[in-house]
Amino acid sequence: MNLIDQLPKWLMQGNSVKLDGFGSFHLSFSSDGVETKDDVNANLIKDIRIIFDADDQIKE
């Protein structure tokens, strides 16, 4: 099992991935607005981004 192969899979399952001493990865996205919750669907999602938050040790 390779981190590079698994990271996208874990992120797409809604998980944050923390690498101790390095930082955390998570997904962020935006979508078009809709009138009711019943109108929400996956086709509205756009601008998916991978966000990396560095641990304090890396920021120094």
pLDDT for residue 22: 94
Query: Is the model's pTM score more than 0.75?
Result: no
Phi and psi of 12, rounded to 5°? -70, -20
| DSSP label at residue 36 | S
- CA–CA dist 45, 48 (Å, integer): 8
Hey, which residues does 58 pair with through a beta bridge?
A: none
Q: pLDDT tens track of the chain, all 60 residues?
A: 788 999 999 999 999 999 999 999 999 999 989 999 999 998 999 899 999 999 988 887
pLDDT for residue 59: 80
Specify the DSSP element, H or E, that contains 38.
none
pLDDT for residue 3: 87
* Domains in the chain: ranges and CATH: 3-59 (4.10.520.10)
Q: Specify the 3-state DSSP secondary structure of 33.
A: coil
